[in-house]
Amino acid sequence: MFHPGEYPESVEFCEVGPRDGFQFESLAIPTELKIGIIRDLADAGLPRIQLTSFVHPEKVPQMADAEELADVFRTQPGTRFSGLCLNMRGIKRAVGAGLTNVDISIATNEQHGMDNAGMTVSEGVNHASEMIQEAIGNGMQVQIGLQTVFGYNEPGDTPLDQVLEYCKVFSEAGVESVSIADSTGLANPESVKERVTAILGVTGDIPLVLHLHDTRGLGLANMHVALQLGVRRFDTSLGGLGGCPFIPGASGNIATEDAAYLCETLGIRTGISIPGVAVQSRRIAAHLGRMLPGKLYRLF
């Protein structure tokens, strides 16, 4: 039994760089380069990798090769590969591509919902519920992601009681896991403690995943608090790549190498080769022609 204040013996990372990171870049990333990086990230011990997003290729050109990537990796053993879907068409594309894991993401803040998807939160919840049933009906495991849980325009402007209600609804809908995102990087250690503690009380045995952006430099501090609360799954991105096209100023996720190093210093197993990930961070940095936000990848 886990006791608050202790650390879990091990954690599991989902590498979201190939989706959350790559989609944010204006310079085209060739499919073959993506395939090489993803394959080597899997070899470096990443147990989960978010391959792509099934979105309109004209709106997010970097994700135009979603089916091709799924075809390459859907049968590769040892790593769970998933795709992000924002609507029913995306679910149907993921099913057609042969993926068995899908991520569904919705807004929890009314203004963000209108800015991002042109939907109220209630409309988004209803739509996501239909998507979940469609995916489960096709034999998929589903992770539901709740965006801007820690705030959109300012800290705490997403109502916690509504977040808890959505967590309860989706926990009862058959999802494999619930992910909560600090999309704008407004979280701090105190808000993480408050909100994660409350959400864990609702999700019960369903795994809780934290998706932390490092916009204000508190990503690892927030992760540290979550570890002490018993959270064992985190989204990370090689080299700290990422952002959000719909949130001005949002920077990338916590860097995979940096998060793994933090866990190592705390005696928490990750199963990840930090040098192995770092090579891929340097590889994509060379292609992009710039340094990435992460720290550890520069040391290997």
Which domains, ranges and CATH numbers included, belong to the chain? 12-299 (3.20.20.70)
* Helix 121-137 with 160-171: angle, nearest 10 deg: 20
SS (H, E, C) 203-264: HCCCCEEEEEECCCCCHHHHHHHHHHCCCCEEEEEHHHCCCCCCCCCCCCECEHHHHHHHHH
- ∠ CA 41-43-49, rounded to 5°: 45
Supply the pLDDT for residue 6.
Answer: 86
Across the range 117-134, mean pLDDT stands at 94
Separation between Cα atoms, residue 224 and residue 227, nearest integer Å:
5
Average pLDDT of the chain is 94
Question: Of 29-33, 103-107, 249-253, where does mean pLDDT reach its minimum?
Answer: 249-253
Across the range 8-16, mean pLDDT stands at 98
Q: Which of 14, 85, 167, 244 does the annotation list as catalytic?
A: 244
Across the range 107-132, mean pLDDT stands at 91
Split at pLDDT 50, 70, 90, the class of 250 is low
Supply the pLDDT for residue 62.
Answer: 96
Sequence-distant (≥ 6) Cβ neighbours of residue 272 within 8 angstroms:
13, 44, 45, 46, 256, 260
Whether 263 is catalytic = no
Full-model pTM: 0.95
Give the model confidence (pLDDT) of 46-102 as tens digits. 999 999 999 999 989 999 999 999 999 998 899 999 999 999 999 999 999 999 999
Split at pLDDT 50, 70, 90, the class of 4 is low
Supply the pLDDT for residue 105.
Answer: 95
Q: Give Rg (Cα) of the chain.
A: 18
Split at pLDDT 50, 70, 90, the class of 128 is very high
Split at pLDDT 50, 70, 90, the class of 1 is low
Across the range 228-255, mean pLDDT stands at 84
Q: Are 101 and 141 in contact (CB under 8 A)?
A: yes
% pLDDT > 90, the chain: 89
Split at pLDDT 50, 70, 90, the class of 245 is low
Split at pLDDT 50, 70, 90, the class of 3 is low
